[in-house]
């Protein structure tokens, strides 16, 4: 199987009221750092983004942030990352994050998190990539989204197969095992054609 070396984390740029969500971001960052997996994220020092990045760095991990110039000031670009890349636009940011990751994890967040999540899920649906996507439904945060997806399927705007485009876990401790299970085989692992 392919090896997970770089994980893109999508999450909120604000602090949540529910401190369990903050602890989840911190735990994920620590787990990623301890495993030697590079954390790729939006480059901010604020919100859950900053919490996850700081935890990965504290655990000795490598953190690669990608932030558009117009957000560098308002999101207070993280100055202590392994690498911070300033790009021209949100589109470039999302594309660089995509290119730089083996898999994606979606923690709780707001509209920007939803935008990033739906783009990766849609790209996978369109066969533009086959990288694992894990949605962390910490404390049931994403239940309304999952209900919406069920409604989309019920109205035949999508097939039930869309639920196979991503994996849902309830706790960050399940993220890395879920990704490793879903990693596509490497060329050497693929069966030979008959």
Domains by residue range for the chain, with CATH: 6-182 (3.40.50.450)
For residues 96-109, give the mean pLDDT.
97
Residue in 47, 46, 84 with CA at minimum distance from that of residue 63 = 84
With bands split at pLDDT 50, 70 and 90, how would you rate the model's confidence at 181? very high
- pTM of the entire structure? 0.91
Q: Which residue has the higher pLDDT, 1 or 176?
A: 176
CB crowding 52-63: b at 16 or more within 10 Å, else e:
bbbbbbebebbb
Share of the chain above pLDDT 90, in %: 87
- pLDDT at position 191: 40
CB crowding 126-150: b at 16 or more within 10 Å, else e:
eeeeebbbbbbbbeebbeebeeebe
With bands split at pLDDT 50, 70 and 90, how would you rate the model's confidence at 74? confident
Residue 89 has pLDDT above 60, yes or no: yes
Residue 190 has pLDDT above 70, yes or no: no
Helix (H) / strand (E) containing 86:
strand 83-87
- Three-state secondary-structure class, residue 174: helix
């Amino acid at each position: 199987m392919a090896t997970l070396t770089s994980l893109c984390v999508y999450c909120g740029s604000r602090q949540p009221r529910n401190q369990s969500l903050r602890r989840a971001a911190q735990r994920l960052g620590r787990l990623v750092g301890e495993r030697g997996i590079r954390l790729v994220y939006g480059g901010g020092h604020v919100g859950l983004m900053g919490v996850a990045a700081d935890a990965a760095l504290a655990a000795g991990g490598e953190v690669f942030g990608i932030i558009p110039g117009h957000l560098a000031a308002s999101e207070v670009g993280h100055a202590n990352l392994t690498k911070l890349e300033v790009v021209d636009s949100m589109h470039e940011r999302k594309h660089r994050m995509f290119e730089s990751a083996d898999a994606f994890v979606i923690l709780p967040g707001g509209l920007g998190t939803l935008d990033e999540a739906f783009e990766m899920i849609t790209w996978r649906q369109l066969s533009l990539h086959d990288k694992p996507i894990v949605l962390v439904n910490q404390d049931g945060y994403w239940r309304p989204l999952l209900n919406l997806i069920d409604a989309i399927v019920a109205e035949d705007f999508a097939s039930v197969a869309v639920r196979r485009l991503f994996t849902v876990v309830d706790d960050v401790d399940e993220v890395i095992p879920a990704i490793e299970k879903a990693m596509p085989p490497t060329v050497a692992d693929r069966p030979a054609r008959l």
